[in-house]
Each structure stands twice: as structure tokens, then as C-alpha cells.
Chain A
Amino acid sequence: MTARQEDSIAPGVPVTPPSRPGLGYQARHLGSRYAVLGVWALLVVIYTIAKPGVFMTRSSFESIFNGQYALVFMAMALLCTIIVGEFVDLSVPSVFGFAATILPVLVVNQHWGIWPAAIVAIAGALACGVINGLLVVVAGVNTIVVTLGLGTLLTGVALWMSDLNTVVLPAGRFSRIAIFGVGGLYVSFFYGVLLALAFAYVLAFTPLGRHMRFVGASREVSRLSGVRVNRIRFGSFVAAGALSGIGAVVTVAALGSYNATTSDSYLLPVFASVFLGTAVIQPGRFNPIGTWIGIYFLTTGITGLEELGLQTWVSDVFYGGVLVIAVTIATVLRRRTV
């Protein structure tokens, strides 16, 4: 072999140290993370001043925090598929409603025991997740088409099973799994807290969560890095089904009944909360804690407006308006800070 020359680099010139972030930058950074929390606090202050003795009371506090278990489970279910990049699973509220109808129908009409009925309800929701997964991931059908179709179908089946009626469970100890009091709040509130925290932990600290976020960011990059992309996508649909089912059981336990016609009314709040969550904690990113905060932020706003005497239409205006404004602000702030 001929003489060869090994490379060498003469000593480098010192690298300019990165300049320290300016105050303006830090303010924007904080602003983009906590703007929604600030507005939430502002809402509480405004309502308290506007309706002294009504808003800042134990009863409105309890009505805000005790009543959102259904939304929390459904929002986390939607988040499962959104995190892995499957946008808009429109079937979440219908799967939830389907499971919430199975449970009382089996108990009341078919005289099943309540626990076997609850297990079948969860299994039914899980099966819906499997069907979504098979159609979207394996067969490659468009997510919106599959979930819109399956959702509508399930709502129809639920209405048929319940004969368009509210099916009421006989009173019993079953309700305690949802409305058992812990420190002045229902235990179902804490289920939601634990669920959001556990989900956030999985995403932030486990290999599974890392893989989920990479699949959401780029399927091809994930696949070429050895991530089993389709398994993760499929699993997300199944997990979404399971969470909707568990949420349905908790809801039926708390309410003691379910009316299948109400399922569709959850769609906007669920989407609003999940998207509003992108304006909190991790701006521009779907995240469970942000979603959880989004749910209670929206509920606070609506509860306050209703206590000010406004009619129920206000919830549509508020959900829609806040969603667009909050996500716009988060997007703009994020663009400036990146």
C-alpha cells in the first residue's frame, strides 16, 4: 500500500458560548406554557367578583371537580391515538356510550350480575378498539371514515339496545366505586388524576411512551429505527377502547343510569379539551396533564357563565371560542420561542 496520510485538525478556535436567554424570551416561554392556567385563575377571580357568595363556594367547587370523570376518560382515550399520529378518532364518545348502555341493559333487561355486566361492557369497548385498529392499521382505511362510521353504528346499536330510554340500575353498593367520598371529592375525580399522571409518566419516562411519541412524529423514522410502528398504532386504538369502556363503567356507577342519546354531546368537549391541552405545559404538543387542565378549565368557565344566569347555549359558544383562541395563542407563542 502506498503512503497514507492520517487526518488531523489543528487546535480549534474557541467556540462562542451561547448567549443567555433574555428576559423577554423567558417571559414568552413561561407565557406559552402557563397562559391557560393564568386565564383559569382570572376566570375564577372574575366570577367570584361578579357573583359573590355563589361561585367561590363548596357546592360550585364540587360540581366542577366531581362531575368530569366521563370527560377525563374519553379525553385520555382520544389522546392515546392522537399521540401516535392518528388524527381524529371520532368514535370515542360512541364507544363510551356503547359500553355505558351495555352495562345497565345487561343488568336490568337480562338480569346479569353487575360485575359480569361491567366486564362485558369493558370488553365490548375493547373490541371496538380492536375493530378500529384492524381497519385503520391493518387494512389501511382512512381514520376519519372508519371512526365516523363505526361511531355512528355503535350509537345506533346502543339506542336499539336501550330502546331509546334511560336504563336505570337498581340502587346498590356498585355506585361506591365512583362516588365514594375522599377528602370531600368523589373517588372518580382521583381516578382521573391518576390516569392523567400515569399517562404522562408513560409518555415521559418509559420506552413505550418514547416509541409512541416518535411514531406520532414520524412513522418512517420510527420504523427505520426498529420501532414496531403498526403494533404501537394498533395498541393505541385498543387502549383507547379500553379507556372508554372503563370510563363508561365509572360513569354508569356514578349516575346509576345511562341514556344513549347523550353520547354525541361529549364529542365537542372531548376534542376541545384535548386540543386546549396543547396550549398548556408543553405548548404545541398533545399532553395528558394539559388535557386534564383543559377539561377543568372549560368546566370552570361554563359553570361560572351558567351561574351568571346565561342559558345552556353558552357551553357551545364557550367550548368553541376558547378552543380556537387558546390554540391560536399557543401556536403563535410557540412559533416565536422556537
Chain B
Amino acid sequence: MTHQRLEVADLSKTFGPARVLRGVHLSIAPGELHGLVGQNGCGKSTLVKILTGVYTPDPGGSIAVDGRPLRTPVQPAEQREAGLSVVHQDLGLVDDHTVWENVRLGRYQARGPFRKIDRRAERAAAAQVLGRLGRPIDAGQLVAALSAEDRATVAIARAVQSHRPGGGLIIFDESTRALGQAARNRFFAIVRSLIGAGASVLLISHQLEEIVEVTDRVTVLRDGEVVETGLPTPDVDEAALTRMMLGRHLVTHGRVDSHAKDEVAASIRSLSAGQVRGLDLDVRQGEIVGLTGLMGSGFEDVAEAAGGARRAGSGQLTVGGRSIALGRRRASTEDFVRAGVGYVPERRLAEGLAAEMTVSENLTLPRVRSRGRPLAAGRAWQAEETAAMIAKLDIRPPSPSAPVGTLSGGNQQKVVLGKWLAGRPELLVLREPTQAVDVGARHDIIDAIRAAARGGCGVLIASIDAADLAVLCDRVLVFRDGKVTGELTGDLDRDAIIGATFGVTPSRDEQVPPEREAG
């Protein structure tokens, strides 16, 4: 009888009071491309961490590869022996090292009396694996110099190098996020060739479209439990997967009526920041304005200057009757906060939230001085604000005293947004507001941004996510080389935004610039 490549049975994991995985079953056949989907915080990462020996599962479960049971916690040597490898979200590459050093990391062979690394042999070994993948990248190059696609290839090479021919299981944990459409197609061509040779793949992705397109079967996790496992992908579509993931029916966001009023919420005058020179921009009350372009085109600089994150060269921001000099040396973010500007940064854990502090402390931070008294920050208003934001954004777990670092990415993003929404800002500046969040969280975040606009807040969204901009914005400014090269209004369309960004007519094969890693 042929064994499954991976057979996981009755796997559970408990952290303190929280049971994050409950009796998970998963089986993957040899030569299968298996998809794993679920919202942020549903237990996907925990499952991967158990399979790679980072976490010890609760007693009672079992993991077997090719019919051979693995001991838990999974030992690195056994994991390698079994051919179980992971390509992580950030690919786990060391930028200032060469391709061969990255591929061979952890496997260096030392030779001679001084135990020196045999560079020539290592380089040859790396080149051989890369050759097997059909992409002969120069093994002596620095990884930093590679394209997103080649970086992914290097990560795959590292994962598959010790697999037996026709064996092995590679887990791709959101590894395709940094790839554009064209690069993604080539990436899957490599994956397909591995599968053709008998390897199995577990693909974890938030891109349901991708899951439906490329996988053979799919498993859905919700709240730590398997909702469906081994479902043949041809039988499902994205809507069905979403329904299973959320346990609710989610109607796709379409555009809603604009709530823009005539009064101006914020005006930017003569802004020079980064590449941008002399920009004037008015955001009306209730208006949602998108800023987009290629990375480095200047749209990010506008958001950072208007949000008070970075000092601009020069310029003036007027919000709620207050005027702030954007180029002033001693301008403080406090001035922006007082004027009613809220800034949701791109990297939520580095710039938006202090992981060790609680949900409530993070949510109320910008107002703890203005609403509190010097000798007592005051509990009532903090509890009230926190409860309101937890309810409004559906933050889970709904616990004000949980350290923010224990929340899933999507819920953390909701806390960053809630931190500013609770202060009823006049101008809300957001960067990549739905980056690396699941469909459910994205839905809640989009709803909350719209609600803020309905309430009269002016919104500036700097994003490369054309789908977000299309459903949210009243108009989108497209930047290139520091200049606004296009303004799209009316009925916005994702492809039109992408087209304007690249200065070409929309095409599905266009390579989208890689997203930056979220904190």
C-alpha cells in the first residue's frame, strides 16, 4: 500500500488558556499540490511551527511522513531526513550574503585541518540544485542584487536540496506574496516541475484566487479546527472558500456612494518631500483619496509627510483650522495628533504597535495625555474607547488586556486603525491598510475606513493595492518620479489603476512591485 506523503492526525496545541489547534487532520498525497487557507489567527502558522519542530504539540496527535511516524517535538535531523522543508513568508534569506551561502546555510561542509568551508564544493552544490530547478542563477552573486523571483528560487533551492528524488514535502508559507503576477507564473512553473518529479507541496496563501487556480486539493482551517480537508479544488470557488473560512457569507465589496462634502478637511500646500516637489492637494471632508505609484515614486513620501511620520523638505498642512509647517525642524508628531491627524503606518509592529503592551494601552496611547489628568490617566474613558473599537472592528480575541503581540496580524492591524479612529480624526492617513491581512479582516478594515469617511473624516490612502484603492477611493492620484501623472475619478477599476501606475494599458501579466514585509 502506498503511504500518504504527510499524514497529520488529531493534532492539537494549547498555549496557556488558549487552545489554538483542535484535533487537526491533514493528509497530502505524493505529487500533490495541497492548499491550506484560513483567516489570520486560525492556526495555520501554529501547524507549520509544529511540523518544523518550533512548537511541541499537545499529547495525542501524530505526524507521519511516507508512513513513518515522526517523534514530537519534530527534531531538525528527522525533519530533514523525512524531506520536510519550509519556505517562509520572508523567504529567510540573508541579503548581504551570496546565493551559495544562502542555499547551503546550515549544511556547510568543513574540510582540512582547520575545518575550513570548502567554498568550491559548496558553490558547486548550490549551482547544481539551482540548475535542477531550471534557473541557473550565478551562485556567487549577492542575494540583495536578485529579483524577487530569483530570491524565491534561492529559497526553494535551499528547501529542496536534500530531498530524495521523487520525495519530500515543501511548505510554502505565504511565500508568493512578494511576487508579481508574471514572476508568480514562473514560480509555479518551478513548483509544478518539482511536483512532476514526485515532490509534494503544501501551499499556504491568503490569495484565494491563486489557491483555486493552482492547487489540487484544499484544506480550510477556522478557529483552530479543520472545516474541510482534502476538498478537490475544481469543486470550489473563491466565494465558497471564503464562506468556509469565515463561517459567514461575505458579500464582495463593491463601490459605495461617495460621502465627500464640499468643505475641505485638510489641505497640503507646496509640499516637497523625497522626490515630490511643490505638491498641492486638498482632501475634502468625507473624501477618500488614494495615492499610488511604483515603489519610490513619491506617493509614500506624501503620506509620511502628511501623517507626521517624516519631516518634509518644505510645505504646509492645514487641518481643522490648525496649520503645521511640514519642513520645520522641530515639528513634532504631537502637533499632528493635536490637529486631528491619524497615521496608520505600513509596518504595524515596528511603527504602529508596541507588542508587549495591551490592546487597550495601544488603542488609547495617542489620547492618554489629552483625555487623562496628570495624576490619573482615567480608566472609564479608556475602557469605553477600547470596548467601542473592539466592537466596531471586531477585534479578536475581544480582550482589552491581551498583549497586542499575541494577536494575529489582521487583528493587530485593526488595533492600529482603531487607535486613531477612536480619536475621531479630521484627517486619516493610511499606508497599505490591508497588507497581509485575511479577507475577513480586510472586510472589517474597509468598512471602518468607509464609516470614518461617512463621519466626515478626510482619508488619504497610500497603497500599491489597486483592489483596495478601487473599492475605497473617490479619486486616486498616480505618482511617477515624484510627480502626479494621473488622476482617476468616478468609477474606479483595479486594472485601470494598475495600468496608470505602470503607464501602460492594463494587462494581467503585469508585474506588480513586491510588497514590503509587514513588521
Q: Is chain B a partner of chain A in the same complex? A: yes
Residues of chain A within 8 A of B89, CB atoms compared: none
Which of chain B's residues has its CB closest to A16's CB?
Answer: B223
Contact of B377 among A4, A210, A214 (CB under 8 A): A210
Q: Is the CB of A25 within 8 A of B16?
A: yes
Within 8 A of A (CB), among B275-314: 307-309
Q: A16-B223, A214-B357 are in contact. Are A206 and B351 (CB under 8 A)?
A: no
Category for how many chain A residues contact B: 35 or more
- Give complex CA distance A8, B248 in Å: 11
- Find chain B residues with CB under 8 A from A19 CB: 17-19
In the complex, which residue of chain B has the Cβ closest to the Cβ of A215?
B354
Tell me which of B343, B354, B373 has the highest count of chain A C-beta atoms within 10 A of its own C-beta. Answer: B354
In the complex, whether B141 has a CB less than 8 A from a CB of chain A is no
Residue A311 at the chain B interface, CB threshold 8 Å: no
> Which of B15, B248, B333 is within 8 Å of A226, CB to CB?
B333
Chain B nearest CB from A105 CB (Å) reads 38
B438 at the interface (CB under 8 A from A): no
Whether A208 contacts B337 by the Cβ 8 Å rule is no
Contact A228 B375 (CB under 8 A): no
Interfacial chain B residues near A217, Cβ < 8 Å: 354-357
The answer to whether the Cβ of B254 comes within 8 Å of any Cβ in the partner chain is: yes
A4 near B256: Cβ-Cβ < 8 Å = yes
User: Distance (Å) between the CB of B258 and the closest chain A CB?
Assistant: 7
Interface residues of A in 35-62 (CB under 8 A from B): none
State whether the Cβ of B419 lies closer than 8 Å to any Cβ in chain A.
yes
Contact A208 B374 (CB under 8 A): yes
Task: Say yes or no: is B365 at the interface (Cβ < 8 Å to chain A).
Answer: yes
Q: Is A182 in the interface zone, CB < 8 Å from B?
A: no
- Asked if B377 and A207 make an inter-chain contact with CB atoms under 8 angstroms apart, the answer reads yes
Question: In the complex, what distance in Å separates the CA atom of A91 from the CA atom of B91?
Answer: 43
User: Given the complex, which residues of A lie within 8 Å of B351, measured CB to CB?
Assistant: 220-221, 224
Minimum Cβ distance to chain B for residue A2 (Å) = 6
Q: Which residues of A contact B19 (CB under 8 A)?
A: 19
Known: A18-B17, A228-B332. A206 touches B374 (CB 8 A): yes
Select the residue from A19, A25, A29, A210 with max chain B CB neighbours within 10 A. A210
A9 touches B354 (CB 8 A): no
Q: Of the candidates B333, B338, B361, B376, which one forms a contact with A223 in the assembled complex, judged by CB atoms under 8 Å apart?
A: B333
Residues of B within 8 A of A338 (CB): 15-16, 403, 406
A5-B333 in contact (CB<8A): no
Docked CA distance A223–B365 (Å):
11
The smallest beta-carbon distance between A208 and chain B, in angstroms, is: 7
- Please tell me if the beta carbons of A224 and B248 are within 8 angstroms of each other in the complex: no
Complex alpha-carbon distance, A338 and B16, angstroms: 7
A9-B443, A217-B357, A338-B403 given as contacts; is B309 within 8 A of A224 (CB)? Answer: yes
Which residues from chain B contact A11 at a C-beta distance below 8 Å? 248
By beta carbon, the residue of chain A nearest B248 is: A12
Q: Decide if A207 touches B251 in the complex (CB within 8 Å).
A: no
Q: Which residues of the other chain, B, contact A22 by a CB distance below 8 angstroms? A: 17
* A1 at interface by CB-CB < 8 Å: yes
Which of B249, B350, B490, B491 is the one whose CB lies under 8 Å from A220? Answer: B350
Q: Which residues of chain A have C-beta atoms less than 8 A from B419's C-beta?
A: 225
Contact (Cβ within 8 A) A226 B350: no
* Nearest A-chain residue to B361, judged by Cβ: A210
A-chain residues with CB within 8 Å of residue B357 when the two chains form the complex: 213-214, 217
Tell me whether A224 and B308 are in contact (CB under 8 A): yes
A20 to chain B: closest residue by CB:
B17
Most A Cβ at <10 Å: residue of B18, B353, B368, B447: B368
Whether A205 sits at the interface, judged by CB under 8 Å, is: yes
Chain A contacts for B353, CB-based, 8 A: 218, 221
In the complex, what residues of A have CB within 8 A of residue B223's CB? Answer: 15-16
A152 to B334, CA, bound (A): 38
Q: B257 and A210: CB pair below 8 A?
A: no
B92 is an interface residue with CB less than 8 A from chain A: no
B369 contacts which chain A residues (CB < 8 A)? Answer: 207, 211
Which residues of A are found within 8 Å of B337, using beta-carbon distances?
225-226
Of B223, B353, B377, B403, the most chain A CB neighbours within 10 A belong to: B377
Cβ < 8 Å to A, chain B residues 232-265: 247-251, 253-258
Residue of B nearest to A1 (CB): B257
| Contact between B254 and A4, CB atoms less than 8 A apart | yes
Interchain CB contact under 8 A, A25 and B338: no
B196-217 interface code vs A (CB 8 A; 1 in, 0 out)? 0000000000000000000000
Q: Considering the complex, give the chain A residue whose CB is closest to the CB of B447.
A: A7
Contacting A at CB under 8 A, from B465-484, are none
Chain A residue numbers with a CB within 8 Å of B309 are: 224
Q: B315-348 toward A: CB 8 Å interface, digit per residue (1/0)?
A: 0000000000000000011101110000101000
CB distance A9 to B16 under 8 Å?
A: no
Q: Offer 7 A-B interface pairs, CB within 8 angstroms, sorted by A.
A: A5-B254, A7-B447, A9-B249, A10-B249, A206-B377, A210-B377, A221-B353
